[in-house]
Structure 1
Amino acid sequence: MPSSPPHPVATRRPGWSDLPVGMRAALADRLGAPVVATRAATAGFTRGFAGVLSAADGGRVFVKAAPRDSHLANWYWREAAVLDRLPAGLPAPRTRWTLAESGWFAVALDAVDGYPPGRPSGPSELATILTAYADVAAALNPPPSDLAALNPPHLADLAQADILRWGDVAAGREAPPPLPVGLEQRLPELVGLESRLPGYLAPASGLIHGDLRPDNVLLTPHGQVWFCDWTWLCRGPAWFDLVTLLLGGHGVEQQEVTVAALAVAGGTSSPTGPASSAFPEATVGTAPALTTDWLDAAFAAHPAAADAPPDALDVTLAALAGYFLTTAAVVPETATEQLVAHQRHSGVYALDWLARRQGWS
């Protein structure tokens, strides 16, 4: 299996000049001064507008915008509703305002300077992120009443409806994805592993991010860690977020420009401290490739995994590998071509990690 995916292509997002004149004027009105500079995202997986707007009076906001009749507009509205209700002090961006104009919908967030984690992340950097996520997980379990009032879906239902794919492959309802040499005969084991996931997820009553990957994390020069893009908040166990965070840190290489790199964040938070000594030791200032042994140990040591079933990591990796590899064949109309490479490589790394744990390779 490859050690790293090819460098992703730039995202084909609408630019500032592509927004309707009425929307641009409305955004300037809400800012209170003319827009004098824009810094648009050129990477990511969606086709909506995303970028920092700078006003003549020095004001800055990060804006996401899409046609009102698109799925993206619904996603942006949902994210704004979640961000408005996250507990105070949680390291996540906050909604400044929303507006609808000229057939488009926009959400504005506070903008601060920051940068994305390395791809792949180094052990020290990822350990710092994992320490910060422990506080986020604790703040969402039990779920705050304001967030629970949004009636977020349960991950167990989402898994049953959409994530589990190996069973469909085995039954001929889904085209089989290409598998690495030596793993073609492992379909029965993959079906058996992923089938346990809904039962493992069902007892969870807390809330999780639901789409936690390194490209949804923002780091600041002052040592703060921010968790962005909260569209897919759902009920589920925090160890599921932990798996997707570790998987992304292991197998996705550095993107030069991402939404996170444009510094979507807001509110206040104390800088995070040093990585917990419970995580595998890492030398500060180095960024060696993460080994599956390190990832295994990091999962086992994290507070979010304290109540996880013994084979939760294997079951989740099996399910995610099937989901990523089968969905890599189709690009939704809301997504960019870059999503295909992301899905494929995420699936490959999930399967590689699982194969090593199972002794298949």
Structure 2
Amino acid sequence: MSVETNPPAAGVRVPWPEVHPLVREAVAEFLGGRVVEADTQPGGFSPAAAVRVRTDGGRRAFVKAVGPEPNPDTPAIYRSELAIAAALPASVPAPRLLTGFEVEGWVALVFEDIEGRHPAQPWRRDELDQVLAAVGEMSAALTPAPIAAPPIAESFGPMLRGWRQLLEEEDTAGLDPWVARHLGALAELESGWAAAAAGDSLVHADLRADNILLTDDRVYVVDWPWACVGAPWFDLVCLLPSIGMQGGPAPHELFADPDPGVTSVVAALTGFFVRHGPLPDPPGLPTVRAFQRAQGVVALDWLKRRTGWA
């Protein structure tokens, strides 16, 4: 299967006029004025509205809103984000939640509007260093976790079993020859990821360039629906394959900790990408599989280096 080089982290967004009218009315009422400007933001995969709005009185906000179509799973993800965003302390480098609500099957979140930009593609070294430093600072600030969140094994246990699923399917057609040779060992290595990733840090667990905003003096991390409690290095390990895929240094150049537990987590992430990348696109998410496949190429190279298996 061909792999697209550096596919965009962008999906199909719902334009503001297509958001449920009761949601638009509630947003306008909360902001205290009629919305006269609505600028859709393309980054991210969810089939939802992501809009920077301005009222006739000049007030600005960032609005996320999703209904039950076209992907019925997305509203539950937004409910999770609403709960997490409402609980995050001010010390977390995330935009402040102003309000959130549900109406007619739609879930809406209204955040402060950040005048920021995503990291450049391909990655610039100065921005990469700024982001890596911020990720380290965030990890330290969120240890121990300042809010209640599910343990990492509970959040991702059903997802991170790609090698074991492939082993059970007994179908190695199209797999990388190295993977096919080591599939049993990869399944065993992957099975230890949850114990390795356990910890007491609040982790974002979905860190990529499209979930990062840069201002002149600060790094903001957005979109927290998958936040959970785990090892302090988990966010960095999750971020590195996308950095390598998007023109930055390879993961092994940025993180060389030889801890076998890290290798187990890298195996689990790689298995997820390799197993899910070839699957059909989920409803309303036509770009996510290409992104997973591209990350899988980088992650697999990292895994081969970390295991040292011939």
TM-score, normalization by structure 1: 0.77
1:331-346 alignment to 2 at 5 Å?
Answer: 331-333=281-283, 335-346=284-295
Q: Match for residue 266 of structure 1? A: none
Match of 1:51 in 2: 51
Partner of 1:163: 160
Distance in 1, matches of 2:145 and 2:42, equals 35
List structure 1 runs of 4+ shifted beyond 4 angstroms: 1-4
Q: Which residue of 1 aligns with 2:243?
A: 249
CA displacement, residues 178-225 of structure 1 (integer Å, 9 cap, x when unaligned): 3335443121332232122122134x12321121222211111x1311
Q: CA deviation at 1:79?
A: 1.4
Partner of 1:79: 81
How far off its partner does 1:159 sit? 4.1
In structure 1, what is the equivalent of residue 297 of structure 2? 348
Cα 1:82–1:160 shift into 2, 3 Å = closer
Given candidates 271, 290, 294, the residue that maps to 2:253 is: 294
Over 3 Å counting, the alpha-carbon distance change for 1:244 and 1:177 in structure 2 is farther
Residue 123 of structure 1 deviates from its aligned partner by 3.5
Shift of 1:120: 4.1
Root-mean-square deviation (CA, aligned residues, Å) is 2.6
Query: CA contact under 8 A between 1:176 and 1:326: conserved in structure 2?
Result: no
Give the aligned residue type for 1:332: P
Which residue in the other structure is 2:204 paired with? 209
- Indicate if the aligned counterparts of 1:5 and 1:345 stay in contact, CA closer than 8 A: yes
What is the DSSP-based 3-state SS (H/G/I as helix, E as strand, rest coil) of the residue aligned with 1:192?
helix
Q: Evaluate the alpha carbon distance shift between residue 49 and residue 290 of structure 1 in structure 2; reply closer, same or farther with a 3 A threshold.
A: same
Matched, 1:230 2:224: yes
- Secondary structure (helix, strand or coil) at the match of 1:63 reads strand
- Whole-angstrom distance in 1 between the partners of 2:297 and 2:233: 21
Q: TM-score, normalised by structure 2?
A: 0.89
Q: Does 1:190 align with 2:149?
A: no
Instruction: In structure 2, list runs of 5 or more residues that go unmatched.
Output: none
Structure 1 residue 25: Cα displacement: 2.2
> Is 1:117 aligned with 2:115?
no
Judge conservation of contact 2:172–2:180 (CA < 8 Å) in 1: no
Verify the 8 A CA contact 1:165 1:323 in the aligned structure 2: yes
Quote the offset at 1:345 in angstroms.
1.0
Question: Per-residue deviation at 1:351?
Answer: 0.3
Change (3 A) 1:166 1:131: same
Post-superposition Cα deviations, 1:261-304, rounded to whole Å, max 9, x if no partner, equal xxxxxxxxxxxxxxxxxxxxxxxxxxxx414442234xx4xxxx
Is the 8 Å Cα contact of residues 65 and 107 (structure 1) preserved in structure 2? yes
Q: Distance in 2 between matches of 1:291 and 1:9?
A: 19
Structure 1 residue matching 2:159: 3-state secondary structure: helix
Say if 1:34 and 1:13 are closer, same or farther in 2 by CA, change over 3 A.
same
**Distance between the aligned counterparts of 2:174 and 2:120, measured in 1?**
28
Alignment CA distance shift 1:240-1:57 (3 Å)? same
Hey, what's the Cα distance between the residues in 2 that align with 1:163 and 1:91? Answer: 27
Is the alpha carbon distance of 1:75 and 1:345 closer, same or farther for their aligned partners in structure 2, counting shifts above 3 Å? Answer: same
RCO comparison, higher one (Cα < 8 Å, 6+): 1
Name the residue aligned to 1:178: 174
- Tell me which residue corresponds to 2:103: 101
Q: Does 1:218 align with 2:179?
A: no
**How far apart, CA to CA, are the structure 2 residues paired with 1:35 and 1:321?**
43
> 1:305-339 CA distances to partner (integer Å, 9 max, x unpaired)?
xxxx7123322221111111212213333x41110
The answer as to whether partners of 1:177 and 1:325 remain within 8 angstroms in 2 is no
The equivalences for 1:1-40 within 5 A come to: 5-8=5-8, 11-40=11-40
Cα–Cα, structure 1 residues 242 and 355, in superposed 2: closer, same or farther, change >3 Å? same
**Identity over the aligned pairs, expressed in percent?**
34
- 1:135 and 2:137 correspond: yes
Which residue of structure 1 aligns with residue 61 of structure 2? 61
Using the TM superposition, name which of 157-166 and 92-101 deviates more.
157-166
The alpha-carbon deviation at position 161 of structure 1 amounts to 2.4
Instruction: Please state how far the C-alpha of 1:76 moved relative to its aligned partner.
Output: 2.0
Give the whole-Å Cα distance in 2 for the aligned partners of 1:107 and 1:230. 12
For residue 231 of structure 1, report the CA deviation from its aligned partner.
0.5
Of 314, 321, 324, the residue aligned with 2:273 is 324
Distance 1:57 1:88 in 2: 27
Question: Is 1:310 the counterpart of 2:272 in the alignment?
Answer: no
Letter aligned with residue 348 of structure 1:
V
The answer to whether the Cα contact below 8 Å between 1:61 and 1:109 also exists between their aligned partners in 2 is: yes
C-alpha deviation, 1:176, in angstroms: 4.6
Report if aligned partners of 1:137, 1:208 keep a CA contact under 8 Å in 2: yes
